Amino acid sequence: MQHREELWIAAILLVAVLAHGTGMFNYPSYLGDEGIYMMQAWAVVKEGQLAPYTYDYGHAPLGWLQIAVWTLLTGGFHTFGAVINSGRMLMLIMQVGSTFLLYRITRSQTQSVAVASTACLLFALSPYGIYLHRRVLLDNIATFWMLLSMMLLISGTLSLKRVWLSAVALGISVLSKEITIFLVPVLTCLVFFRADKSHRWFATIGWIAIVGSIVSMYVLMAAVKGELFPSGTLLGGTNPHVSLLGSVTFQTGRERDGGILDPGSQFWHTASVWAQAEPLLVIGGSLCALISLLVIKRHRFVGLMGIATFSIWVFFVRGSIVLDFYLAPALPLMALNIALVLGIAADKARTLLKRYGSTGLMAFRSGQMITTGLCLASIMINYSSPTLGLRNDPLLLWKPSSAVVAQREAIDWIRNHVPLCSSIIIDPYMWTDLHDLPNEQGGYKFAHSYWQAALDPAIRDDVFHDDWRNIDYVVDTPGFLFDTHTNHLQLVEEALTHSTQMASFDTNEWPIEIRQVNKGKAQSGLGCSNPMPLSGNEPATVGGIDRNTIGVATGGRSGNFLEGKRVAKESFP
């Protein structure tokens, strides 16, 4: 019987592999945030730095440190073709691992293969989940470690060793993406209720201490570097520098609105997109989480999982920016809520039908199959979701995207036609592909993200001298243009105004233009005609600028288009 279940688990994981892995290099289009995390991982591997530009504490670095380790284990950034493909392969492994952990969590609490299978299939086959989980996002990394922490607390007898390992896993999750810190209270309760009475308080306090110690390493790093307090404060000194507390203050106050109390807030806008794209998990999972709270006295674990889901919702409704992929850690919890509530209903039905003997048992099994089938059918309906652009082609998730083709062709064109010494303003998605050329030494050392070119003094002033004539080429995308004009990125706008189209990769999804700047002078390439001297061991990717100079990146907001719809980008490094 055990071997049959192991084969069944393998079949479920195979479904997850096929659903997420088929076509993942070709759809969805490469997101700027994916490029940001890959270039930060590149900086770790190639430069021994946390970022190729000034690290501004926008996120804890453990997420892209894991990506960096992955590239080392797999032979480099180009093992799977384009650089972002390497990260997407890691996301596939994280997704399959998350599916397995979700099975273990559900199975251990319900003792039902059917209920555990339902949770896993809802999670693995969600079209919105496939869209999000394929992309190189810190949220996906944090989700895996979050589920591992929960599984260690839930599956089997809770020993102190499992408590400590769970704490380590959650600490890693928080330092991969800060959103999972909202689960600390509910998982603390889980430790308290599941630990043996003989060491309950020791286990609970120890678990909190380990999580706190791991997370505090981030604070300690900032303190050691003298970047904990903002410049101009009593403990921050007067020299301009980035700071952890300054970044936290900025992030918490970013695009503030009324949150859940404001019908026009970003929360309600994004939540409506989620509800349209994934109604079963978002609406159904949230309702089941509410039901879980109502039965917490009789089903403590079920209730705690409902609280865990609403803990993530607390982050969503806080009254600040809410991005589409913030939903990633909540999706497995919502699938779990649905499965657990169905499990309770199944237990009630089994008890009721037992009195009818074999006929009742047959009716119960038929009901289980029908319920599971209805859940999966509801997921299948979402494959025609207009929110994901799948209305006309439900199989689009597994077909090559013309947007990705255009993105790759743009990179190839630059490599074949643009001198290495040229200064180029680019979308972050192509940053690492241009700085780390396969089978070649060096790269486009003066290819910079448009945000840094416009807003980071170390690039805008010290590399380009705030003069559009020092820019040779501009590679624009819809997100690039939207952000440039919306945020009035002056240096980039001036370069665009004085540029001529050299190549175009036009698709209905994601048009890209490569434009040469008309500088009115003969020399070609800032790096050729006016090379910047390096200071010490400083990497050339930032134009040789000493990292002790000002590199404070202001909080711009970047954008992308999801099948014709704009979605804000995660961070500005």
Closest CA to 119 of 130, 132, 106: 106
- R_g (Cα) of the chain, nearest Å: 25
Please tell me whether the peptide bond between 28 and the residue prior to it is cis, using omega within 30 degrees of 0: yes
In order along its 573 residues, the chain shows pLDDT tens digits of: 678 899 999 999 999 999 999 999 998 889 999 999 999 999 999 999 999 998 989 899 999 999 999 999 999 999 999 999 999 999 999 999 999 999 999 999 888 888 899 999 999 999 999 999 999 999 999 999 999 999 999 988 899 999 999 999 999 999 999 999 999 999 999 999 999 999 999 999 999 999 999 999 999 999 999 999 998 888 888 888 889 998 888 887 777 888 888 888 889 999 999 998 889 999 999 999 999 999 998 889 999 999 999 999 999 998 888 888 999 999 999 999 999 998 888 878 777 877 777 777 787 777 777 877 887 787 777 777 776 666 566 677 888 788 898 999 999 999 999 999 899 999 999 999 999 988 766 789 999 999 999 988 889 998 999 999 999 999 999 989 999 998 899 999 999 999 999 999 977 777 899 999 987 543 445 566 544 333 333 333 333 333 333 233 333 333 332 333 333 344 433
Please give the angle made by the CA atoms of 477, 480 and 484, to the nearest 5 degrees.
145
Residue with tokens 């980071």: 456
Closest CA to 489 of 518, 515, 460, 509: 460
Q: Which residues contact 212 (CB under 8 A, 6 or more apart)?
A: none
Which two tokens mark 266? 């970003």
pLDDT reported for residue 193: 92
Query: DSSP letter string over 524-561?
Result: --HHHHSPPPP-TT--GGGTT--TTS---------EEE
Look up residue 298 and give its DSSP letter: T
Residue with tokens 């699938």: 335
The answer to whether 58 and 82 are in contact (CB under 8 A) is no
Q: Which residues contact 286 (CB under 8 A, 6 or more apart)?
A: 309, 313, 334, 337
Model-wide pTM > 0.75: yes
Cα–Cα separations (whole angstroms), residue 505 to 171, 408, 478, 511 = 43, 10, 12, 6
Closest CA to 307 of 272, 328, 275, 337: 337
Cα–Cα dist 212/204, whole Å = 12
Exposed/middle/buried for residue 161 (C-beta within 10 Å: 0-12, 13-18, 19+)? exposed
The answer to whether 385 and 276 are in contact (CB under 8 A) is yes
Cα–Cα dist 245/228, whole Å = 6
pLDDT reported for residue 527: 60
Q: Compute how many other C-beta atoms are within 10 angstroms of the C-beta atom of residue 291.
A: 18
Which two tokens mark 281? 């998990």
Would strands 499-505 and 512-517 be described as parallel, antiparallel, or unpaired?
antiparallel
Exposed/middle/buried for residue 357 (C-beta within 10 Å: 0-12, 13-18, 19+)? exposed
The answer to whether 396 and 389 are in contact (CB under 8 A) is yes
User: How long, in residues, is the chain?
Assistant: 573
Closest CA to 104 of 14, 208, 13: 13
Would strands 473-476 and 424-426 be described as parallel, antiparallel, or unpaired?
parallel
pLDDT reported for residue 360: 76
